[in-house]
Amino acid sequence: MDKDILILAVESSCDETAAAVVKNGREVLSNIISSQIATHRIYGGVVPEIASRKHIEAIDWVIDAALEDAKVKKEEVDAVAVTYGPGLVGALLVGLSEAKALAFALNKPLVPVHHIEGHIAANYIQNKDWKPPFVCLVVSGGHTHIVYVRDYDSFDILGHTRDDAAGEAMDKVARVLGLPYPGGPHIDRLAAEGDPNAIAFPRVTLESGSYDFSFSGLKSAVLNYLNRAEMLGEKTEPANVAAGFQQAVVDVLVEKAVRACESLGVKRLAMAGGVSANSQLRAEMEESCRKKGIEFCVPAPILCTDNAAMIGSAGYYEFIKGNIADMSLNAYPSLKLGER
């Protein structure tokens, strides 16, 4: 396209209220995030009803701030993109209702965006030359997928978790170690102080050749180790527990993602989602890709967690493909990747 395309994007799928203005799918003019972590921390996880109320409180000023930071008037945007699934239904509906109202009032197209497609699209912001096809490891609190990205709107799911997502397992292990919510960053920091070889936790690989994941057994192994030590009066070293657990998660994620690239003959691998901010996962994936001659891309940490810039990037590619919604668009909390 000759004309620059400005997308105003809205994201409210869980506990971040976010808005952004993105130009041509790659250039972030603004990216405003209002986090609810402090609110939910006392409960040890996200409380859906509280999340919805907090989104209502924040949504207007977040959008105003995104437009102001971008130095763009709302009338100047070409479309309004919004996450419509998956996520918490009440949270999704807040952002969706706001985006519908804006699109209607401004007479602008409404662009529906899948949340996971947004995470994948964060790589287009990080690396302006990055484009399909590539393999992407999507790893977060709610999702763990290996995806073959054929095109900007075409995805093949090669593998997925059969129980706990990697981030979910991290949150649960963090809780029993007495670490605050969200657990992933605290596990990462504590693990850096421990010995990953001190405790032999299992690596669950499932059937030969499978790209699926299972972290429930690993989580149970950590709980059993701690419970047994408590019953026997044995002292445990939390840093070693965190390091051993994290190493077991990272080993499986790296092995399967790299093997998927080799099996498909694809020389490009990306990561996406909140857990892709994990320092050990980033370092070991980069090193494994280097050894195998695979080009590696991972977004900056601010683009790994939920944000609206990634929705703006994905929304741009949906917009130029002509994927526009009408005012009947609803929230779909269990929306699968690739569904429309």
Given the candidates 3.40.50.300, 3.30.420.40, 3.30.70.520, 1.10.260.40, the CATH classification of the domain at 6-122+304-320 is: 3.30.420.40
Position 243 scores a pLDDT of: 98
The residues spanned by each domain of the chain are 6-122+304-320, 132-299
Helix (H, G, I), strand (E, B) or coil at 330: coil
Position 1 scores a pLDDT of: 53
Residue closest to 122 by CA, chosen among 34, 9, 212: 9
Would you say 133 and 158 are in contact if contact means Cβ atoms under 8 Å apart? no
Position 308 scores a pLDDT of: 98
The tokens 């484009």 sit on which residue?
131
Position 44 scores a pLDDT of: 86
The ranges of the chain with pLDDT < 50 are none
Position 2 scores a pLDDT of: 72
For the record, the structure tokens of 140 come out as 């977060």
DSSP for 29-83, written as a single string:
EEEEEEE-HHHHHTTTS--HHHHHHHHHHHHHHHHHHHHHHHT--GGG-SEEEEE
132-299 in CATH: which number? Answer: 3.30.420.40
Position 338 scores a pLDDT of: 79
